[in-house]
Amino acid sequence: MKKLINTLAFIALFSTSMAQPGTMERALKSIEENNTSLKALRKQADAEKISNKTDIFLSGPEVEFNYLWGSPESIGMRKDFAIQQTFDYATISGNKRKLAEQKNILPELEYKRERINILLEAQELYIDLAYNYELSQALSVQQEHAQSIVDIYKRRLEEGDIGILDYNKARLALSDIVGKTSKLETEIQNIKGELSRLNGGEELHLENVEFPKALLVENFDSWFGQIEEDNPVMQYLKQQEEVYKQEIALRKSQRVPSLSAGYLTERVVGETFSGVTLGLQIPLWENKNKVKESKANLLAIQEQQIDQRLQFFSTLQNLHRKALGLQNTAEHYRKALQESNSTELLSKALKAGEISILEYVMELGLYYNNIDQTLQAERDFHIAYAELQAITL
């Protein structure tokens, strides 16, 4: 009975209860450090950032040497040496470098988005584990009750007070609970396995796993205004907009002719010519429609931002409404559970012969079913709350 009281005390104090300080936070931190998908994505992001900076410098200087035989031989040989450097405005203006810097923000935002998805999955598994632990505790108490009834009925059967049918009913009730407990233990091990997978294959050593603290803000609009800018999808689209703006500036600068300058020396028999060379490369055709393309991409990404904000707002609004409803449902179940705890009365009535074993099993089963419903409501609320708060991870 003491265990049952402890279980009910937890349910009654759910609104202010909290796991051992930092239990879930430590688990999430470990997963963030050990998750193989995040490690691979980090390497990929670093490689992409390096790749973005591979085409932001001037092309290398061009060196040329010519050794020419004269015909007839009497005119001698000719030797030419030239070195030349091309200067394109897109590079020397810094537009290539600026575009690379804007592009390098995108891999970080992609990493942030995937990190949130992985940590949210881990958080939901943790919540499911807390639910199963609490349900396991309730089943343990229920199994103790069922075992005590079997022991009592066995003694009464031996004394001839009851028949074999009543004794078998008590044993069947116990067997049902044992089966549920075994199934629940398998589910707990599966969840732990999933958490280990997210933790890079390393086992998470979790103690006192309970539902985490949840403080749901009722005013959705004010809350949304605070977290809107943290949405990684919106951040990615906004950064894409900055990339296309810089791309437009780059492609406009590519319309400017490129200048080349160098040194040339020419030697023939008895004569040497040397001096500077200048050249101009005029981009008449190669950049045609490129600015239009970038402007079209910019308009498209701006429309996507409008759509994404609408979708984001509607999704979170519905999720917030769902979380509020689940919170109210959990509170309703908790209140009903506290008011309907009659396990001691049922046990006394059964021992006094005032109710049959079938009535006892049905009444007690109904009560523990209410415990399960309460825990399910709390689990569903916490999962909805975790999804709502995911972008703050």
For the segment 55-103, what is each residue's pLDDT rounded down to a tens digit?
Answer: 888 888 999 999 988 888 777 788 999 999 999 888 888 899 999 999 9
Over residues 164-177, the mean pLDDT reads 87
Q: Is the pTM of this model over 0.85?
A: no
> What ranges in the chain are assigned the alpha helix state H?
2-12, 23-34, 36-52, 89-92, 95-103, 105-159, 164-198, 220-227, 232-253, 290-339, 343-351, 357-388
Per-residue pLDDT at 8: 41
Per-residue pLDDT at 22: 61
Residue with the larger pLDDT of the pair 128 and 353:
128
Per-residue pLDDT at 17: 40
How is domain 2-392 classified at the CATH fold level?
Outer membrane efflux proteins (OEP) (1.20.1600)
Per-residue pLDDT at 382: 94
**Assigned token pair, 94:** 């810094």
Per-residue pLDDT at 14: 39
User: Percent of the chain scored above 70 by pLDDT?
Assistant: 92
Largest CA distance in the chain: 138
Q: Do 204 and 192 contact (CB within 8 A), yes or no?
A: yes
- Report the C-alpha gap between 292 and 103 in whole angstroms: 20
Q: Do 114 and 390 contact (CB within 8 A), yes or no?
A: no
pLDDT at position 188 over 90: yes
Per-residue pLDDT at 262: 94
| Mean pLDDT score of the chain | 85
β-strand partners of 63:
83
- Domain boundary assignment for the chain: 2-392
Per-residue pLDDT at 46: 94
Q: Of the candidates 153, 149, 175, which has an alpha carbon nearest to the alpha carbon of residue 164? A: 153
